[in-house]
Structure 1
Amino acid sequence: MTTALQVVVARTLVSAVVFDALVPLSPKIAQDLEVTPTFFQGLLAICLTIFAFGQLISTPLIIRLGASRSLTAASTLVALLCLAMTLTNSVRTFAITLLLMFAANALATSASRLWLLQYLGKMRFQATTAYVYGGTCLLATLSPLILILSASTWGWRWVLGALGAALLLVSLGLTTCPLPQKTGPSHSTVLIRLWKQPKFISALLMAVLIQSAFTQLNLSKAFVLDEVFRLPAPVMGVTLSVWTALVALAFFVAGKSVKRFTQTQRLKTALLAQALGAGGMAVAWLQTDFYLYLIAAASTNIAFCILLPLTTAWGLDVAPSQQAQASALFGSVTVAAAGLVTWLGVQLNTPLFFTVMLILGLCALGTCLVFQLLRIK
């Protein structure tokens, strides 16, 4: 692994810790700023919406500045905003700073995805993406306890300040990772061309479907374990930690499989895993079986870990002049659509376990239909 790649991967991992830290630290932040948990959760929901659509509108900047400079500027801005956020006692200033952080991270995420593709090429991009996702999940397993204990000792401001300083240091290292800028046609013209490419559309649809299934499963797991299976708090905590660790392991295995198996073989394996997960979840719902639920969830997670890097690489496998728009559009639509599906599931007013089963089933059916109709190979 070259120095340039190490710096970009390190930036991705540190940035993930910065944003993941907001969840375990949110009670202390809300208490310190004297806001309700509902207000803070609503603020995070708005931030995620800005993150989704920010990737879409970031394209003109990436085209103008190039992937390397866009990544450096956006990552540095995120770090500075994180540091600024720790210095304010104003709720309004904190909220505005947090919103700007997510907007800047949208640009950094899209630029990072494009940088990796241009630097690595299609096949190495798939493997590296899987490894990076695996590392992110591994950090998500280990960091909450450390963050909570650190915040209890030194306060949330010092914790976020240290993370912001670390991100700033890594961001400055990005200046050593230049890439030649690739220019191309206008943003609007390229977007029209992308929507006319069956391979891009089918990759995007598959990514939306598996991301929606994973998001629904991930956001509901704590509630299902608590309300449906009545797990004691210590058991539930261990289960969630092991769950995240297994997702990380699945990503690492998916990365290793890139060189060992063809794309078609990996795609069919993922489709089978997703179908088994959906079917298993239906049986688990009918019988209220804890172990079947875990097996079905594991199967769906395996499908996600294989499909996400694969479909991302397919989606960005376009002409160099279209890659910036493809990266932004891909990231924006998948996140926004997954959030929309989750919101629609809430509107059904059905038991949560049934909603999970229904969404997993529909997403698995949709993925198989896309594969049959558009035949990506």
Structure 2
Amino acid sequence: MILVLGALIALGPLTIDMYLPALPRIAEELDVTSSVIQLTLTGTLAGLALGQLIVGPLSDSLGRRRPLIAGVVLHMVASLLCMFAPSITALGIARGLQGMGAAAAAVVAVAVVGDLFTGSTAAAVLSRLMLVLGVAPVLAPSLGAVVLLEASWRWIFGALVLMAAGLLLIAAFALPETLPAAHRRPLQIRGIASTYGQLLRDARFIALVLVGALAMAGLFAYIAGAAFVLQEHYGLNQQVFAVVFGAGAVALIAATQFNVVLLNRFTPQRIVVCALAVATLAGLVFVAVTLTRFGGVVGFLVPAWTVLASMGFVMPNAPALALSRHPEAAGTAAALLGSAQFGLGAVIAPVVGLLGNDERALALVMTVSASLALILMLVVRPQPQPVVASPAVEAVPERA
């Protein structure tokens, strides 16, 4: 099940990261600036954010499988549109549709975890998913670079069509329905609005959503700026960039897996606070290094990777704490979580470009994201909602 859910949740990062080595080439071919081409990344993240808000309530009403299959089909069609896009406008629109299709996979994967697990167990499962998820940022730029060695950047999107087709088969034959019909919510506008209202009135839930979103914002800042900083400012070629970018993902993956060990001794809240404190300190060093240009590319990478590793402890724990507060609406809660993460990421990506698209802009955005998340955790002190047994949890033996 973890492998299946990991394959689902990896579709979004593959969609985001695989074309990163091609960004300078796409900008040159379409005759646009680096800041403009980054808007295609913003379009993808915006599609992921909007799509999750739509898919979440649908998955609580129709079950997990049908919205997932429809989303993957949309992703395949959008990838074909990207492949043949004649202009930057067409590419940006198609990337937005691509993000909406990938949103279905992201929501369903997290909602299934919410269906089956709560509390520290959910955090541990999400950490395991991060191991599978982490393979995507490691492989995606490398796969994109391999495609660029032999073909145009357009064939990167052709490869995404094939990957989505494989995921469609997995969704159709390997994923059971985890939300029984008796536990589904009616598909009514008033009911959907009521569920969202219930979640938005929970201040601690919103705090955890924002903490998770700020953690992802730091990651997306790195994704948006790393290709230009490492290739144009430090002179790395596409293949070396892919290796270096993958090393940062390895740091993130290692942290998510060590998080499972820490959960045996510490609460998820304590892990999040400590990780954000480390990320903030590393970020301050990062800013200082980039201002003085000390250490060259190594001076840039060490604090950047430290911040990424710290976020690896935040990203599984904050969503698990949030989902534990509302297991009765796991799909809608997962939608708000994912929408906030990718929505803030959509805002952060162009901010890096507007601030100069250099190492200083990248360091500043990552540091501010970590420090704001730390302040939020210290001020609000969000706790998980005590849960004895939700209907979804009680249904696990029957599904098993």
TM-score by length of 1: 0.81
**What is aligned with 1:323?**
330
Deviations 1:86-136 (A, max 9, x none): 996887998776544322222332122111221233323222222322333
**What is aligned with 2:256?**
251
> Cα–Cα, structure 1 residues 100 and 29, in superposed 2: closer, same or farther, change >3 Å?
same
Question: More displaced, 352-361 or 204-213?
Answer: 352-361
What is the deviation of 1:311? Answer: 0.9
Amino acid at match of 2:64: A
Find the partner of 1:106 among 103, 112, 133.
103
* In structure 2, distance between residues paired with 1:93 and 1:354: 31
1:145 and 2:137 are equivalent in the alignment = no
What is the deviation of 1:14? Answer: 5.7
Find the partner of 2:360 among 318, 337, 354.
354
> Cα–Cα, structure 1 residues 242 and 104, in superposed 2: closer, same or farther, change >3 Å?
closer
1:11 and 2:8 are equivalent in the alignment = yes
1:287 and 2:292 are equivalent in the alignment = yes
Pairs within 5 Å for 1:19-38? 20-24=17-21
Find the partner of 2:211 among 206, 213, 230.
206
SS of the equivalent of 2:325 reads: coil
Deviations 1:140-181 (A, max 9, x none): 323443454356558827634532332222122245444314
What is the deviation of 1:84? Answer: 5.5
**What is aligned with 2:120?**
123
**What is aligned with 1:302?**
309
What is the deviation of 1:231? Answer: 4.7
Counterpart contact for 1:76–1:172, Cα < 8 Å? no
Find the partner of 1:242 among 232, 243, 247.
247
What's the Cα RMSD here?
A: 3.6
Question: More displaced, 90-99 or 53-62?
Answer: 90-99
1:363 and 2:364 are equivalent in the alignment = no
Question: More displaced, 277-286 or 298-307?
Answer: 277-286
Deviations 1:58-88 (A, max 9, x none): 3332232022433344335535x36865996
> Cα–Cα, structure 1 residues 226 and 210, in superposed 2: closer, same or farther, change >3 Å?
same
> Cα–Cα, structure 1 residues 316 and 153, in superposed 2: closer, same or farther, change >3 Å?
same
Amino acid at match of 2:308: N
**What is aligned with 2:272?**
267
* In structure 1, distance between residues paired with 2:225 and 2:203: 33
Q: Paired residues, what number?
A: 369
Structure 2 portions without partners, runs of 5+ = 384-400
* In structure 1, distance between residues paired with 2:81 and 2:361: 37
**What is aligned with 1:341?**
348
> Cα–Cα, structure 1 residues 148 and 40, in superposed 2: closer, same or farther, change >3 Å?
same
SS of the equivalent of 1:271 reads: helix
Counterpart contact for 1:86–1:161, Cα < 8 Å? no
Counterpart contact for 1:276–1:296, Cα < 8 Å? no
SS of the equivalent of 1:142 reads: helix
SS of the equivalent of 1:211 reads: helix
Amino acid at match of 2:382: I
* In structure 2, distance between residues paired with 1:29 and 1:218: 16
Amino acid at match of 1:261: F
> Cα–Cα, structure 1 residues 355 and 84, in superposed 2: closer, same or farther, change >3 Å?
closer
TM-score by length of 2: 0.77
* In structure 1, distance between residues paired with 2:242 and 2:331: 40
**What is aligned with 2:43?**
46
Question: More displaced, 334-343 or 17-26?
Answer: 17-26
> Cα–Cα, structure 1 residues 27 and 192, in superposed 2: closer, same or farther, change >3 Å?
same
Counterpart contact for 2:75–2:101, Cα < 8 Å? yes
**What is aligned with 1:166?**
166
